[in-house]
Structure 1
Amino acid sequence: MAANLRYQRVLLKISGEALKGDREFGYDPAAVEAAVARIAEARELGVQIALVVGAGNIWRGGSAVGMDRVTADHMGMLGTVMNALR
């Protein structure tokens, strides 16, 4: 079945923005579950998926407790890189 697909291998980068749902920062469980369901559907079709998950929104939430925005942005970028290494 994979032979009929337009793309057989994809790299998917999911941003923290996509996973936060209605929240200002962090992850919304419903948004995560929806993303997982879509990824599972693609996998069931035979698509090979490499996944990179962002981390910026988690750190940007640090500004709510006094963290400098630039520092939070840098930490978010580092978190994305660390997630890519897993």
Structure 2
Amino acid sequence: MGKVNGSRITNLKELRPRSSGRSALRLLFAFDPKRDAIILVAADKIKANPHNPNRWYEEAIPHAERLYDIYLKERAEEEGQNQ
């Protein structure tokens, strides 16, 4: 697990499960304000871009940020309805 550079989400993390070398599964996740882990994006970065696997982050990070924004908005709306 490691911190993701280049994201505006300060607690965006990357999980890198072991692989056989032919794949590189990556999961981007963040902890919400209640400390629940939210998996935002998961993919095999080698299959996504075999010639330059690290380019996967250029699309995955902005996508994870958008999903996290949507998640936080929906949680805030739910909590507003429950009060």
Report the TM-score when normalising by structure 1.
0.34
Report the TM-score when normalising by structure 2.
0.35
Report which of the two structures shows the higher radius of gyration computed on alpha carbons: 1
More strand by share: 2
Instruction: Name which structure has the greater RCO, CA cutoff 8 Å, separation 6+.
Output: 1
